[in-house]
Structure 1
Amino acid sequence: MLIALWAQDKQGLIGENGTLPWHLPNDLKFFKDQTINNTIIMGRKTFEGMNRRPLPQRTTIVLTSDPAYQAEGVLVMHNREEILAYTKEQDHPVFLTGGAGVFDTMIEDCDQLYRTVIDETFTGDVFFPEIDWDKWALTKTIPGVVDDRNKYRHQFEFYQKK
């Protein structure tokens, strides 16, 4: 099962200079809870924005068109077909985690979407690609808790492909 997992602001912003434009511990916990002991797929720029460190207790796949690209502790794949073949062999969810190019390339192949929507507008340079929402059914929404550490209203949305 292939699941896209991302956080965005009200305008679809997902990044700024290779990082998140906000600090929202609830969303980081949500990300960890969903992906722990599973596989995550990210593009080279996203991986390098994390200082080329794979996240613990996850298999990390870096998707890049560079045939010579190597990084310690990750699997490197070069195209959509490799990702789909890998996903079919797994008995656990595989999560697309960014960036925009990976989402754009693979979103049509996803079975589910997990989206955190932050009810704010931030400044950044990367937006989630256009998606045909008519192909998706919202199955669950969980309001996020706002407190002294999580200052922005947010919600977690779960979608199933129709």
Structure 2
Amino acid sequence: MTIAFMWAEAQDHLIGDRGQLPWHLPADLQHFKKTTLNQIVVMGRKTYAGMGKPLPQRTNIVLSRQADYSVVPGVLLLHNIDDVLAYAAAHPEQETIIIGGAAIFALFKDHVDRLYVTEIDAHFTGDTVMPALDWSAFKQVAFQVGVVDANNHYPYSFATYQRLAK
């Protein structure tokens, strides 16, 4: 079983603004799709509502304390971290990727094995930052500088980190 985080952040660890990404970076969206396809994605209800629909070709889990929260058929609604961890353990052939928001990342920070982060070297305004992580517990295992072009206007890079043995 692997628990991963996947997020994009701008300077000052900014990850969102009113439930949306504060930037448009198609290369990051493609990277996200490629990494999460056929995997399990876990999100909070605000992230789910901000997306407007489930992500295709992925197992979508919405984590919410609201027992009566409504999701579309095919989306799993779970109510606590233990239920998510049990689901992940029952599906070890898939990576369980936490995709937000900040409160959900904070819940799983002691359980995460792998980090996929897109670092955007630009400043944006927003209202949500990535919770602090113990970076000394991780080692960078992959790094790629992105190409700034007509569609991707900001300098960015993709980095992957793996938790060191406990």
- For 1:51-77, what per-residue CA distance to the aligned partner results, in whole angstroms no more than 9, with x for missing partners? 2x1011111000001111121131001
The whole-number CA distance in structure 2 between the counterparts of 1:135 and 1:160 is 8
CA distance in 2, matches of 1:67, 1:150: 40
User: Structure 2: any 5+ residue segments left out of the alignment?
Assistant: none
Identity of aligned residues (%): 43
In 2, the alpha carbon distance for the partners of 1:107 and 1:47 equals 20
| TM-score, normalised with respect to structure 2 | 0.95
Note if 1:131 corresponds to 2:130.
no
Structure 1 stretches of 4+ moved >4 Å: none
**RMSD of the TM alignment (CA)?**
0.7
3-state DSSP class of the match of 2:97? strand
| Map 1:77-156 → 2, pairs under 5 A | 77-90=78-91, 91-156=93-158
Q: 2 CA distance for matches of 1:97 and 1:31?
A: 10
Report the alpha carbon displacement of residue 8 of structure 1 after superposing the two structures with TM: 0.2
Give the length in aligned residue pairs.
Answer: 161
- SS of 1:97's equivalent? strand
TM-score, normalised via structure 1 length? 0.97
Q: In 2, Cα distance between the equivalents of 1:38 and 1:160?
A: 18
What letter matches 2:65 in structure 1? S
Aligned-partner SS, 2:100: coil
